[in-house]
Structure 1
Amino acid sequence: MSFFDRMKQGASGAAKKAQQTVETTKLRTQITAKEKEQEKTSKLIGEAVYKAYTAGNWKQADKEVTAHCQHISALRQEIQSIELKIKQARHMKECRCGKVVASEVKFCPACGYSFTSSYDEKASAAEIRLICQGCRTANDADTKFCSHCGLTM
């Protein structure tokens, strides 16, 4: 391999790494926005509970708090989906023990778990399933409402 071929290969690798960094940064920005929204929603829960407390009627806040909690659950699922996209962009996967490893690894270096063919290393976002908090039905990743019970995802 000539000097220029090695230079070209190095430049290509650097460009791929830069693209990966840009993509990861965009996804992390989305996570930060979702976390801020989650904090605002948590504050709204507190305000609703306090308003019900001062009114002396706890049931008054029930529907509002439930709606806010469902919204937080949906935000958390979206964050998990984005985190998976980050791992995929970085060519990483997570073991059942929590260790993040390279996608081509066949055994976890922390616990020895074997990543068999049942673990799809090339899972796309379309294959990610969201589980409804109400009825436990698996839904598509981009679902806003449960296909079985209609609960907000």
Structure 2
Amino acid sequence: MSFFDKMKQGASDAAKKAQQTVEITKLKSQISSKEKEKDKLFYLIGTAIYASHREGNIAASEEEVVSHCQKVDGLNQEIDFLDERIKNIRFEKTCPTCSIVVPLDTRFCPGCGTGFPEEPRPENTIGEIRVICSHCLTENDLSSKHCLTCGNKLSGQDPQNLELMDGEPER
């Protein structure tokens, strides 16, 4: 790989990292906003319960409290979805047994030993050319000489190993 190719690759990697950071920051901001909405709902729940307590009839606030609780449940689902998007951007997943966050390619949890099912690999950027390992079918960067997963020597010049994002082999 020539000096200019290395510079180009470094700039490309830096741009991808910056884009990931911006997207993660936006998602975290959305999560923060939803957490504030939850705090407001918790305040309204407490206010409704206390008001009905003062009236001597706690059951009177049940409908209002249930409505607020359902909104909190919805916000929790949205937050979980945003958390999953952040993990996908970082190429991470969570152990279902002990909740440890691990890299996406981890096969067994380092905390509890739970085995992870084989998951589909994340999608590439449109138009990005990748080299597919003939041994384990892992997608590798075009400039890779050896597979990231199994270490198999890659043949970057072999057109059968090249693949575009849309699944069409390069011609």
TM-score, length-scaled by structure 1: 0.74
Question: In 1, Cα distance between the equivalents of 2:99 and 2:38?
Answer: 24
SS in 1 for 2:108: coil
Q: Is the 8 A contact 1:49 1:58 kept in 2?
A: yes
- Structure with greater proportional helix content: 1
Deviation at 1:123, TM superposition (A): 8.4
Deviation at 1:17, TM superposition (A): 0.5
Q: Which amino acid aligns with 2:46?
A: G
Q: In the comparison of the two structures, how many residue pairs are matched?
A: 122
Question: In 1, Cα distance between the equivalents of 2:5 and 2:28?
Answer: 34
Q: Is the 8 A contact 1:103 1:121 kept in 2?
A: no
Question: In 2, Cα distance between the equivalents of 1:111 and 1:81?
Answer: 24
Question: In 2, Cα distance between the equivalents of 1:68 and 1:61?
Answer: 11
Q: Which amino acid aligns with 2:110?
A: P
Q: Where do 5+ consecutive residues of structure 1 fail to align? A: 125-153
Q: Percent identity?
A: 50
> Match of 1:35?
35
Deviation at 1:16, TM superposition (A): 0.5
> Match of 1:95?
95
Q: Is the alpha carbon distance of 1:46 and 1:122 closer, same or farther for their aligned partners in structure 2, counting shifts above 3 Å?
A: farther
Q: Which amino acid aligns with 1:20?
A: Q
> Match of 1:116?
117
Deviation at 1:111, TM superposition (A): 2.5
> Match of 1:44?
44
Q: CA RMSD in A?
A: 1.7
TM-score, length-scaled by structure 2: 0.67
Q: Is the alpha carbon distance of 1:104 and 1:71 closer, same or farther for their aligned partners in structure 2, counting shifts above 3 Å?
A: same
1:25 aligns with 2:39: no
Q: Which amino acid aligns with 2:81?
A: S
Q: Is the 8 A contact 1:20 1:89 kept in 2?
A: yes
SS in 1 for 2:87: helix
Instruction: Tell me which structure has the larger Cα radius of gyration.
Output: 2
| Segments of 4+ moved more than 6 angstroms | none
Higher relative contact order (CA 8 A, sep 6+): 1
Instruction: Write out aligned runs for 1:68-107 (5 A).
Output: 68-96=68-96, 97-107=98-108
**Cα deviations by residue, 1:9-61 (Å, 9 ceiling, x for unpaired):** 11111111000001100100010000000000000011101110111111110
Q: Is the alpha carbon distance of 1:76 and 1:122 closer, same or farther for their aligned partners in structure 2, counting shifts above 3 Å?
A: farther
Q: Is the alpha carbon distance of 1:121 and 1:39 closer, same or farther for their aligned partners in structure 2, counting shifts above 3 Å?
A: farther
